[in-house]
Amino acid sequence: MAVVLMGVCGSDLPLADISPKLHGWLLTLHHILKSWRINHQGGVLACSALKRSYREILCTGQMEAVRQKCSVRHDSSFSPEMPTKKRAFMDSITFVHLKGDREVISSRMSGRDSHFMPVALLDSQFETLEEPAPEEGIRILTEDIGQPVDVIVTHILDFISAQVTCKQL
């Protein structure tokens, strides 16, 4: 089981959708997720995955939506009707959307010493964000970051445990 922690926090520079740096980064993360699956391992990956097309690359390794500057795809490559092997891979990934409003995130960022992302880029992160939606066909848990950290961690662990238990039945 792989867990992708996602949400507004991002990188130190805004990346264009067609940036080779973005492509390589997302494909590298896809290959990490894929290797965990092949080797029957699990892990936690932190990645903002702000757009649907970015989450698609993480799950499928396909970059067509980004190349075409589409943020949403409606074909069968990223849907519940996709081939069984690809569906099984996607089902092994849980996206945890750590959701917070600008004020909470800005306050936390301002309180950090030498963080790699300046608060000035926060607005661009929110502009880029495409909230995960059920029609994406991914397993998603949304957690409000206004909760205590131990509560968030407990929710995540309970959610993952329930997924593992369901697979074992």
Q: Taking the domains of the chain in order of start, what are their residue ranges?
A: 2-168
Q: 78-92: per-residue pLDDT in tens?
A: 555 556 666 677 778
Give CA–CA dist 44/94, Å, rounded: 9
Domain 2-168 CATH class label: alpha beta
The pLDDT of residue 63: 67
Residue 13 pLDDT greater than 90, yes or no:
no
Which residue, chain included where needed, has tokens 């973005």?
Answer: 22
* 43-69: average pLDDT: 79
Position 12 scores a pLDDT of 44
The pLDDT of residue 75: 40
Task: State residue 77's pLDDT score.
Answer: 44
pLDDT beyond 90 at 21: no
